[in-house]
Amino acid sequence: MNTKELCLGALFLGDASGYEIKQRFETTFSHFQKASFAAIYPALTHLKTEGLVSAHVEIQEKRPDKTVYSLTETGHQHFIDALHASDGAESFRSDFVLLMFFADQLSAEKVTAVLERQEQTLRQAIEALTAIRNACRHNKGALFTIDYGIAVKQASLTFIEQHKAAFTSKDASL
């Protein structure tokens, strides 16, 4: 799923400007997809050309005007089709794991810093998911993804907490 299709998905949750779509990526979709402004704005332009979204300008006082996009019927159908066409592939890349793989080549301080950073990142992610969980309680699928995210991140965190001693304590016995 590329940025264009993901924008359709974001608009599926309701009409939005490019700016607001970005916010959806940073909250609702944050734990499994991401997109930057420089990817979103051109994507919306293309989608409009293709007739998958329609747009109207909303004039605001004390705020810049914004272009609000809506899914057209074609766009709606296109998104559902894209979902059915997807096989649900995932991609994961982790420099954290790479660093731990080569932990014995790193200084003790670096290893400690890496482990602490990862713990903090995981705790913040769990917090963020918990914070938006309530807003998704009406949607079975959305709730599943939130709880799935929390469960997986919690498992990562617990593993690190239980195994970091082997790297941080002076006693470096396996």
**Residue ranges binding DNA (CB under 7 A):** 2-4, 17-20, 23, 34-39, 41-45, 60, 62-67
Q: How far is the CB of 13 from a second copy (least distance, A)?
A: 10
Residues 74 to 133 in contact with a second copy, rule: CB under 8 A: 80, 83-84, 86-107, 110, 114, 117-118, 121
Q: Are 66 and 19 in contact (CB under 8 A)?
A: yes
> Angle formed by the axes of helices 3-12 and 73-85, to 10°?
120
Judged by CB under 8 A, does residue 148 bind a second copy? yes
Q: Give 66's Cβ-side CA count (13 Å radius).
A: 14
- The token pair at 78 is 């296109």
Sequence-separated (6 or more) residues with CB below 8 Å from residue 54 = 48, 69, 70, 72
Residue numbers at the binding site for a second copy (CB under 8 A): 1, 6, 9, 12, 29, 31-34, 80, 83-84, 86-107, 110, 114, 117-118, 121, 139-145, 147-149, 151-152, 154-156, 158-160, 163, 166-167, 172, 174
